[in-house]
Structure 1
Amino acid sequence: MSISAPVAPSVPKTIRQATVLAVCCTAVVMANVDTTAVNVALPAIGRGLDGSLAGAQWVVAAYTLTMACLLTLSGSLADRIGRRTIFQLGLAIFAMGSLACSLAPSMGWLVAFRVLQAVGGSMLTPVAMAIISAVFTEPGQRVRAIGIWSGSIGIGMAAGPVIGGLLVETIGWEAVFWINVPIAATALALTFLVVPQSKSERPRALDPIGQLLVIGVLGLLVFAIIEGPHRGWLAPVTLGSFAGSAVCLAALLRYAPRHPHPLIDLRVFRSIPFTGAFVIAILAFAAMGGFLFLNTFYLQEIRHDSPLVAGLALVPMAAAMFVFGPMSGRIVASRGARSALSTGAVVATAAAAVLTLTFDGSANLLLLIGYAMFGAGIGLIYTPITATAVAGLPPAQVGVAASMASTSRQIGQSLGVAVIGSLIASHPGALTSAADFRLPAHLGWLTITGLCAAALVAARISTAPKAVRARF
């Protein structure tokens, strides 16, 4: 790896390192706050742009789905072209996409601009980690820096609903997007001043065919799930989308092993711990994505809470994630990932089960307790996912493990929003009254409970002593 001389050599190294870390954390927090803050704004967006429930699903899924498809490609481009260059490009695109979202004249245009915004966002998370690894060359400093950076991601996701509710309540839904513009502009200027350029001496070859197949698998699957209730589950376009996704997956499984440098090296899935971490991330973040989507409409459309009150109602979840996220890192260090993953999955499953029984306006205290328990469970799961994925592969593939772990989280959120939103959409009039909302809400919570329980099973299997010994 070669690193060019820093732009501002007169700045002491420790100050420059701290500034670089602050820039990377700010960029990633911004991208992750956007993922969750927009959920709180969905009812206001729907009213402002005369959008449907499917449109609301696409506002969220277009972002997370694009991120999931492009994270690995963005990392490869950064290794080849230059990490600072791609990071700056990502900030610029994210800022332009955010501004465009705030000015969107219709739901269709907003979804399109969300895709543009996510293209920029995909260049931030993987590249920020690579920049930190290049700047913090001393192993101990690097570990601490990556720990701070990883914690900032969880903080961003947890704080998003509160920030989103405050902005929608005080200014309007457009503020959820345009607030990103000055933040991204500041980070862009600081990147130019203090972040050194770096590249990989042996960048991975690009794989455009593999990239298109991944987009086909995920895009067609999510399209079929979201549009199924509206177009009909047996409609030709729905069945064709499911079939197209399956064909793309079959083609990817046949194509990837024949490519010398595939976008996704399928051999990594021979590692049970890595595969387990990938599956756990999809399940846990599908539960979280579904949780945020379901509660957004419950709090604002059924209980008629204001966006700010709805955001504040989610403070127990956010606070629990903030507390238990760092705690999970200490549990992993002292007792291993198995304890943190299992405990988190148990707590999240119990929370979802409690909320299945108390999801109405007559049990506010239990509702808030359930929110806190759910946040604690997801917080405990968050850090061990990456730790388990990294531990499941050789040291030379740490970057692949971290990238795939991030991708699996985005896949999970996309699927969670698609599935839970479709459960609501399958019951016409569900958002008109508490009585009509009760059945799809209970079905949604039962689905979330099942996802958390499945994550527990995957955690126990993938972190068993026999599985850990059978690493890649």
Structure 2
Amino acid sequence: MGAPPVAGGSRTNRTALLAVTCLGQFMVLLDNTIVGAALPDMQQRLHTQLTGLQWIVDAYVLLVAMLLLSGGVFADRFGRKRVFLTGVAVFTVASGLCAVAPSVGWLVAGRALQGIGAALLSPASLALLVSAYPVAQERVKAIGLWAGLSGIGLAAGPVAGGVLADSFGWPAIFLVNLPVGVVLLVAGARALAESRNPGAPAIDVPGTVLSVLGVGVLTYGLIEGGAQGWTSPVILGSFAVGAVVLAVFVAVERRRPAPMLPLRLFRERLFSVSNTAMVVVGFALMGSSFFFSQFFVYVQGSSLLAAGLQTLPSTLAMVVVSPFAGRAAARYGFRVVVTAGLALAGLGLLTLGAVHADTGYGNVWWRLVVTGIGFALTLSPLTGAAVLAVGPQEGGLASGISSTTRQIGAVLGVAVLGAIVRTGQSGGASFESGLTRAFVVAGAVTVATAVFTGLWLTRSAPTEPTDKTADAERPVRERELHHNG
């Protein structure tokens, strides 16, 4: 079975490609955490409530979740470099529009446009990297570096957001993307070599439309349910319509010769488990981090800058640990590392549920570190497992599915945990009590998933490989053997 063409070829070109793809993902990840740090300032200056803040976050996450699958297919079919640079351009322009938004409505629209750019940029970034490293073991290490180096954006976000929002106001957090975007466009045009999957399927228009409608309607119901009432006709109707549309989506995908979501991929045990766990990671990570800065500002009385610094241990732990997570999975096995990571993250969130207004920071920061380490041990191996399970030719599709499941989890996390906080307040409880319940729910779901992942993999694979690197490489080898017949 021939190896796919290597983008760039030489080690120098590979280094340049790694730098560009990491910077692109850095910009996307920076946007995830820098916005969270500025939410209190947005709430004050834009005169909005918790529902408005949820839409500012979820307008972006929702569009990413709805379009990532298409972005991965576009990258494989039309060229990964072309789609990557298009995503960078859209994201950069959208960031400028967000910075000048005069109201919550305009800001939400700009965030949605940012989501479109990220949905093109992110899967193309990983697909470019995968095509440059056709050897499975090298690809595992490269994905680990990509996740770790680009993950610096996660660590930089809270501090940068706190500094910029405190000094210049929330619009400054979007202006920071403009110079990064310009550098990416110039460097990417020169450093990246074009690659594509010649066997990529045609665009699945019915699948794309149905997935966008289904996820969008369900998200609307989750976010607005707390404000309009969970039993209101509009909310119940949105849940019913969303469920029906997604059921139709699955039925359509089963019958199409080239679906946007090939259900056959989920027959691969590693692919199925990794994406299931990724939903929970998105739910717990994004759902809890949405409230980190709000906890420090509204419960403990910190300034925006101080809150940004106080949330730093979690993201910094992720940056430090992420580059080693892929290697650990290759050495010790996917099941061991991911199960341990989910357990740590869940326990960290459960301990955050015991933090109160009078808890000293010396008894808070280590809980954030434990949570960050846990998520770092899961993100890179889960992404790598999903890509390795299908092979390099479908790298864009696999990375798109993996990122989509994480983003869907993130949408659910912000919506569900936000609803828990809001419902508690409407029942007379304080914001602090609502946060406590939200952190406990996120932690309990994550710990339960750790147990499920470990047991399900053990029962599904009674014969474990003796080679410690086999967990990462086995799906590729099995697929190659299948294709070679």
Q: Same fold judged by TM-score > 0.5?
A: yes
Q: Which runs of 5+ in 2 are unaligned?
A: 465-474, 480-485
Q: Say whether the 8 Å CA contact 1:132–1:146 is kept in structure 2.
A: yes
TM-score, structure 2 normalization: 0.89
Whether 2:449 is the aligned partner of 1:461: answer: no
Render the CA deviation track for 1:299-356: whole Å, top value 9, x for unaligned.
1122221111111111211222122223322321221111111211221222122122
Matched to 2:159, the amino acid is: V
Q: Report the CA distance between 1:15 and its aligned residue.
A: 3.5
Given the alignment, which residue of 163, 176, 181 partners 2:178?
A: 181
Q: Structure 2 matches for 1:100-111, cutoff 5 A?
A: 100-111=97-108
Question: Partner of 2:262 in structure 1?
Answer: 265
Q: Report the CA distance between 1:13 and its aligned residue.
A: 4.5
Question: Partner of 1:417 in structure 2?
Answer: 414
Q: In 2, distance between residues paired with 1:3 and 1:457?
A: 40
Q: Say whether the 8 Å CA contact 2:421–2:435 is kept in structure 1.
A: yes
Q: Say whether the 8 Å CA contact 2:73–2:260 is kept in structure 1.
A: no
Given the alignment, which residue of 52, 56, 61 partners 1:59?
A: 56
The alignment partner of 1:123 has SS state of helix
Q: Structure 2 matches for 1:76-95, cutoff 5 A?
A: 76-95=73-92
Q: In 1, distance between residues paired with 2:461 and 2:322?
A: 25
Q: Report the CA distance between 1:111 and its aligned residue.
A: 0.6
Q: Report the CA distance between 1:417 and its aligned residue.
A: 0.7
- Tell me the C-alpha RMSD between the 2 structures: 2.6
Q: Say whether the 8 Å CA contact 1:24–1:128 is kept in structure 2.
A: yes
The alignment partner of 2:70 has SS state of helix
Q: Report the CA distance between 1:429 and its aligned residue.
A: 7.0
Whether 2:201 is the aligned partner of 1:204: answer: yes
Given the alignment, which residue of 282, 285, 297 partners 2:282?
A: 285
TM-score, structure 1 normalization: 0.91
Whether 2:154 is the aligned partner of 1:157: answer: yes
Q: Report the CA distance between 1:112 and its aligned residue.
A: 0.7
Q: Structure 2 matches for 1:224-303, cutoff 5 A?
A: 224-303=221-300
Question: Partner of 2:334 in structure 1?
Answer: 337
1:102 and 1:394, CA in 2 relative to 1: closer, same or farther beyond 3 A?
closer
Render the CA deviation track for 1:60-93: whole Å, top value 9, x for unaligned.
1111111111112112222332222222211111
The alignment partner of 2:214 has SS state of helix
Render the CA deviation track for 1:229-277: whole Å, top value 9, x for unaligned.
1111111110111001100111012111100011111222233332221
Given the alignment, which residue of 355, 358, 361 partners 2:358?
A: 361
Question: Partner of 1:451 in structure 2?
Answer: 445
Q: In 1, distance between residues paired with 2:392 and 2:172?
A: 43
Given the alignment, which residue of 148, 156, 169 partners 1:172?
A: 169
Q: Report the CA distance between 1:144 and its aligned residue.
A: 4.3
Q: Report the CA distance between 1:174 and its aligned residue.
A: 0.8
Q: In 2, distance between residues paired with 1:190 and 1:387?
A: 26
Given the alignment, which residue of 121, 130, 140 partners 2:118?
A: 121
Question: Partner of 2:348 in structure 1?
Answer: 351
Matched to 1:242, the amino acid is: F
Matched to 2:293, the amino acid is: T
Whether 2:20 is the aligned partner of 1:23: answer: yes
Q: Say whether the 8 Å CA contact 1:276–1:458 is kept in structure 2.
A: no
- Between 257-266 and 293-302, the greater mean CA deviation after superposition: 293-302
Matched to 2:149, the amino acid is: S
Q: Report the CA distance between 1:3 and its aligned residue.
A: 7.3
What percentage of residue pairs aligned between the two structures are identical?
Answer: 33
Q: Say whether the 8 Å CA contact 2:72–2:397 is kept in structure 1.
A: no
Q: In 2, distance between residues paired with 1:16 and 1:387?
A: 22
Q: Report the CA distance between 1:138 and its aligned residue.
A: 7.0
Q: In 2, distance between residues paired with 1:389 and 1:80?
A: 19
Q: Say whether the 8 Å CA contact 1:39–1:161 is kept in structure 2.
A: yes
Q: In 2, distance between residues paired with 1:67 and 1:345?
A: 24
Q: Which runs of 5+ in 1 are unaligned?
A: 7-11
Matched to 1:26, the amino acid is: L
